Amino acid sequence: MDILISFLDVLLHLIVVLMGLIIVLGTMTSALRSFVLARSARDAITSLVFRTNRRIFNLWLVRCDTYEDRDRIMAMYAPISLILLPLTWLAFGTIGFTLIYWGLGVGTLERAMIISGSSIMTLGSATDDRTLFFIIEFIEAAFGIILTAVLISYLPTMYSAFSRRETLVTMLEVRASAPPSALDMIIRAHSIRGLEALNEIWRNWEQWFAEIEESHTSLPALVFFRSTKPGRSWITAAGAVLDAASLHEAVLDVPINPDARLCIRSGFLALRHIADFFLIDYDPDPHFPAHPISISRIEFDEVYDQLKEAGVPVKPDRDQCWLDFAGWRVNYDTVLLRLAALTLAPYAPWSSDRSLPGSNFRPFSLWVSQKDKKMHVKSSTAKR
């Protein structure tokens, strides 16, 4: 009987050590996936931090009456979540090493936790004189330093990507007003410099879409980094440019522009890849009219008439223009609206002004709640 008890005790300690190793390795893997791996990779711990933090922010957002208040609060969401990440990793690391110390026979569980906390914070106030535990303490101290250094070293990378993203978003206000409008963008270009001036925009934004696809999938927290002004948003800016390019190719009586078409393709591919990270459902091969778009024919006709009144050359076959525009828009309609809702984007025509209340999509399963979605729609409608 004594032998059996001893065997079970050894087995228990071995299982605890293995559990501790799994937690430590899982924590390190989480840090590598979040900030070192140069590709899109979902991570359970990172998602847990952002989901939990978002629920806390939801309680705060309910008290806000205006979008400006919500925008000011949500501006802190991504930074606070990023600060919580290394703290969460350190907490999991402390727990993992606590189990390792206890499983190897350091003493009581309380003593194991004290040594683990002292080692991971590099305090050295609690230690064990045995060589094996000295080695583990050194490893844990290096573990804590690495976790903190990983975040600190990658913050400049994130803010550099944010700065590059916001440069064109800010410049768009000059060309497309605020909030950004595809209609204003085309009319202003026509009246000031001619429609040929749009060629430069298509090329610049094609590159911009490629850059945000890379940065916003490898560093997905950037999706929630808000612009410096409440009325600006990377997703509504993207929507305005894509709509302008679609109108250019479908409605304007001008030669086919390969740059505009490449901009549209670059844009919807970038938005889809970002949507993939957040498990947003969409049809990868949609076709109009089998897949309707959120823009109504009445809204399209209003834009068509305003372009014509402004002297912009438009194609005479209005029905064909509608079919062509819808054929372009259907490629990015769903992901544009769902990313706008996900980020609580400010009001902008044909994007955040038509978030999807009552629909069955699931991007909010990871980041926001159904209540957030309704609150955002109510705010956008009131501002209109």
How confident is the model at residue 65, as a pLDDT? Answer: 80
330-341 pLDDT per residue, tens: 999 999 999 998
How confident is the model at residue 19, as a pLDDT? Answer: 95
Beta-carbon contacts of residue 351 (< 8 Å; ≥ 6 apart)? 235, 236, 239, 240, 336, 337, 340, 345
Distances 4 to 1, 11, 13, 376 between C-alpha atoms, Å: 5, 10, 14, 62
Of the pLDDT bands very low, low, confident and very high (cuts 50, 70, 90), residue 151 is: confident
How confident is the model at residue 106, as a pLDDT? Answer: 84
Of the pLDDT bands very low, low, confident and very high (cuts 50, 70, 90), residue 180 is: very high
How confident is the model at residue 1, as a pLDDT? Answer: 66
Q: Does residue 289 have a cis bond before it (omega within 30 degrees)?
A: yes
How confident is the model at residue 9, as a pLDDT? Answer: 76
Which among 135-149, 281-295, 350-364 has the top mean pLDDT? 281-295
Long-range contacts made by residues 37-46, C-beta under 8 angstroms, separation at least 24? 37/218, 38/218, 39/217, 39/218, 40/217, 40/218, 40/220, 40/273, 40/276, 40/277, 42/277, 45/85, 45/88, 45/89, 45/92, 46/85
How confident is the model at residue 369, as a pLDDT? Answer: 36
Mean pLDDT of 137-160: 84
Query: Which token pair is 115?
Result: 């040594």
29-53 pLDDT per residue, tens: 888 888 777 667 788 888 899 989 9
Q: How far apart are the first and last CA of the chain?
A: 78
Secondary structure letter of residue 225 according to DSSP: P
How confident is the model at residue 194, as a pLDDT? Answer: 87
Nearest CA to 236 among 380, 121, 366? Answer: 380
7-21 pLDDT per residue, tens: 777 788 899 999 999
Beta-carbon contacts of residue 56 (< 8 Å; ≥ 6 apart)? none
Q: Give, to the nearest 10 degrees, the angle between helix 77-103 and helix 131-176.
A: 170
Res. 370: pLDDT tops 80: no
Residue spans of the domains in the chain: they are 2-151, 177-383
pLDDT: is 48 or 367 the higher one?
48
Poorest-pLDDT segment among 70-84, 276-290, 353-367: 353-367
Mean pLDDT of 282-287: 93
Please give the Cα distance from 118 to 127 (Å, whole number): 8
Of the pLDDT bands very low, low, confident and very high (cuts 50, 70, 90), residue 329 is: very high
How confident is the model at residue 148, as a pLDDT? Answer: 79
Burial 91-101, CB ≥16 within 10 A → b, else e: ebbbbbbbbbb
112-136 pLDDT per residue, tens: 899 888 888 877 777 777 888 888 8
Res. 352: pLDDT tops 90: no
Res. 376: pLDDT tops 50: no
pLDDT: is 206 or 361 the higher one?
206
Q: What percent of the chain has pLDDT over 90?
A: 52
Res. 367: pLDDT tops 70: no
To the nearest whole number, what is the mean pLDDT of the chain?
86
How confident is the model at residue 364, as a pLDDT? Answer: 33
Are residues 86 and 30 in contact, defined by beta-carbon separation less than 8 angstroms?
no
Give φ, ψ of 290 to 5 degrees.
-60, -35
73-99 pLDDT per residue, tens: 999 999 999 889 888 999 999 999 999
Res. 360: pLDDT tops 80: no
How confident is the model at residue 297, as a pLDDT? Answer: 95
How confident is the model at residue 378, as a pLDDT? Answer: 40
Mean pLDDT of 341-356: 84
Q: What percent of the chain has pLDDT over 70?
A: 90
Nearest CA to 197 among 254, 269, 237, 265? Answer: 254
Res. 58: pLDDT tops 60: yes
Please give the Cα distance from 271 to 236 (Å, whole number): 12
How confident is the model at residue 373, as a pLDDT? Answer: 40
